Structure 1
Amino acid sequence: MTDDRRKPTLRERLRPYRARIRSNVPRGLRIVVGVLLILGGFLGFLPVLGFWMIPLGVMVAALDVELYRRWRRRKTRRR
C-alpha cells in the first residue's frame, strides 16, 4: 500500500511566515532588512553570520519587488 500523504514543500511550509511578515512589517523596513541580510551574508566566514543570510535576504527583499511578484503570478497561473 502506498501512503497518499506527501511531505509539504519548503514553499508550502514558508507560506504562513511570508504572509505574516508581509502583513506585520512595513514595506520599507522589509527592503532594508533584506539588504542587511544580504550584506551580512558576505561576512559568512564570521562565527555568528553565515552564508545562509544571502538567500534569506533575497527572499525578504523580493517580497516587495513588483517585477518578481508579477513573474510569480504568471508562473502560478500557468499551473
Structure 2
Amino acid sequence: MTQTHESNDKPKPRFGIDPRTGKLMLGSFGMRLPQSRGLRIGIGIALIIFGCLGFLPILGFWMVPLGLLVLSNDLPAVRRWRRRLAVWWARRRQQRQGQTRRDS
C-alpha cells in the first residue's frame, strides 16, 4: 500500500499567525483575530500598553509579547523581529539538543 501525501499540507505553525486560518497560534492553542486590519492593530497596541502596567492586578507583562505577536500580522517591521526571534530560538534549541546528545 502506498500512502499519498499532498505537497500542500504544511504543519500548523506552533507560534505565530496561521496564514490558512488567520488564527493566532500559541502551541496547540489557537485564537481567531478580527478581519479588520485597524482593529487588529488597535488590539495589539492595547495589549502592549496594558502589558506595561503589569504590576497592577489582572494585567501582566505577558501581554507585551502577545501584543507584538498580534501586530506582527500587519506590520512588516514587527514581523521581521518575530521571524528573527523564531530563527534564533530554533538555532538555540538545535545547539542545546546537539550538546545533550554528545553528553549522553
For normalisation by structure 1, the TM-score amounts to 0.60
- 1:16-40, Cα deviation, whole Å (9 max, x unpaired): 523842xx43001100110010000
SS at match of 2:24: helix
CA RMSD of aligned residues (A): 3.3
**1:54 counterpart = 2:64:** yes
Q: TM-score, normalised by structure 2?
A: 0.47
Q: How many residues align?
A: 63
For 1:58 and 1:64, locate their aligned partners in 2 and report how far apart those are by CA, in whole Å. 10
SS of the residue corresponding to residue 18 of structure 1 reads: strand
Offset, 1:61: 1.0
Partner of 1:18: 24
Structure with higher strand content: 2
Q: Which residue of 2 aligns with 1:41?
A: 51
Q: 1:27 aligns with which of 32, 37, 53?
A: 37
Q: Identify the structure with bigger relative contact order (alpha carbons < 8 Å, sequence gap 6+).
A: 1
Any stretches of 5+ residues in structure 2 without a counterpart?
1-11, 26-31, 84-104
AA paired with 2:36? P
- How many Å separate the matches in 1 of 2:70 and 2:13? 18
- The structure with the largest alpha-carbon Rg is 2
Cα distance, 1:9 vs. partner?
7.2
CA distance in 1 between partners of 2:72 and 2:13 (Å): 19
